[in-house]
């Protein structure tokens, strides 16, 4: 396989000089326990696959994109209790990474950045506001699991937000050898002791292992590789459209000022 010019890990200087990207894509994952049956790298595997596959589709459609290496750590401040080697990247460190990526790109005349987020506890919005103000670049965020909502709604039966039917299906499609399906716990949730926390609009982090004893949130038992493939292909196509649209934007097209 020759080097893919849209994947920075593989692209050489010649390729990038000959066809300069206008949009950089930064996939951002997390390294954390995912019930008993999925690897700690689940979010990294998923978001890297989606970024590179969407990059391929965007490249075929004439988009000038480059996919940066995936940031492997995410915000796991609430997931260090009772776990073994989950890694937490705090907000100050995440902002420092994002800021230096933005500094590096704008120095080399890439003034558009798409963050492809693969982990629910990563919150980028205030950081994006700060980075845009400082560097004047267009920074766009997409949370992976929000893509292709119709396909998601008609494909998956059980709700959840971590190592659930959705994530297990993706991994059965992407990395079946890493899924120990018969080891999966039920992904149950222990209810809050402070009942008012259930009211709409109220948020506090879940102390993870107290609330989700097997670390999963959602019943994975109905997961299949076919479900994972169905959603992933729709979501990846949507991500590719976003990349093409951003890479073609011109100064003056709002909000790219």
- CB-wise, 42 or 117, nearer to Zn ion? 42
- CB-wise, 43 or 165, nearer to Zn ion? 43
- CB-wise, 42 or 86, nearer to Zn ion? 42
Provide the sign of the torsion angle of the four alpha carbons 20, 246, 110, 52, taken in this order.
Answer: negative
**Token pair for 99:** 């800021």
Q: What's the min distance (Å) between Cβ of 25 and Zn ion? A: 19
Q: Which of 158, 177, 157, 175 is nearest to 229 (CA)?
A: 175
- CB-wise, 42 or 247, nearer to Zn ion? 42
Q: What's the min distance (Å) between Cβ of 248 and Zn ion? A: 31
Q: What's the min distance (Å) between Cβ of 112 and Zn ion? A: 27
Q: What's the min distance (Å) between Cβ of 42 and Zn ion? A: 5
If one asks whether residue 155 binds Zn ion (CB under 5 A), the answer comes out as no
The conformational region for residue 215 under phi > 0 = left, psi -120 to 50 = alpha, else beta, is left
Site string for Zn ion, 18-57 (x = CB under 5 A): ------------------------xx--------------
Size of the site for Zn ion (CB under 5 A): 2
Let me know how long the chain is.
257
Q: What's the min distance (Å) between Cβ of 145 and Zn ion? A: 9
What number of other Cβ atoms are within 10 A of residue 85's Cβ?
8
Query: Which positions from 78 through 97 interact with Zn ion, judged by CB under 5 A?
Result: none
Tracing tokens 């997409």 back to the chain, one arrives at: 142
- CB-wise, 42 or 155, nearer to Zn ion? 42
Tracing tokens 């609009």 back to the chain, one arrives at: 201
Distances from the Cα of 37 to the Cαs of 40, 75, 98, 169, 197, in angstroms?
10, 21, 32, 12, 30
Q: Which residues bind Zn ion (CB under 5 A)?
A: 42-43
């Amino acid at each position: 396989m020759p080097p893919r010019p849209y994947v920075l890990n593989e692209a050489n200087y010649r390729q990038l000089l000959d066809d300069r990207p206008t949009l950089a894509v930064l996939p951002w994952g997390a390294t954390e326990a995912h019930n008993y049956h999925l690897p700690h790298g689940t979010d990294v595997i998923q978001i890297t696959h989606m970024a590179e596959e969407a990059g391929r589709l965007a490249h075929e459609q004439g988009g000038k994109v480059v996919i940066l290496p995936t940031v492997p750590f995410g915000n796991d401040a609430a997931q260090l209790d009772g776990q073994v080697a989950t890694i937490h990247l705090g907000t100050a460190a995440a902002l420092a990474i994002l800021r230096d990526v933005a500094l590096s790109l704008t120095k080399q005349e890439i003034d558009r950045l798409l963050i492809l987020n693969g982990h629910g506890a990563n919150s980028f919005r205030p950081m994006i506001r700060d980075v845009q103000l400082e560097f004047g670049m267009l920074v766009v965020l997409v949370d992976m699991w929000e893509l292709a909502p119709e396909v998601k709604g008609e494909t998956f039966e059980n709700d959840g937000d971590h190592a659930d039917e959705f994530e297990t299906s993706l991994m059965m499609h992407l990395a079946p050898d890493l899924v120990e399906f018969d080891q999966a716990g039920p992904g149950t949730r222990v209810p809050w002791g402070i009942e008012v926390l259930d009211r709409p609009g109220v948020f506090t982090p879940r102390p993870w292992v107290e609330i989700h004893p097997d670390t999963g949130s959602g019943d994975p038992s109905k997961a299949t590789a076919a479900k994972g493939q169905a959603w992933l292909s729709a979501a990846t196509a949507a991500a590719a459209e976003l990349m093409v649209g951003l890479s073609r934007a011109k100064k003056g097209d709002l909000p790219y000022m």
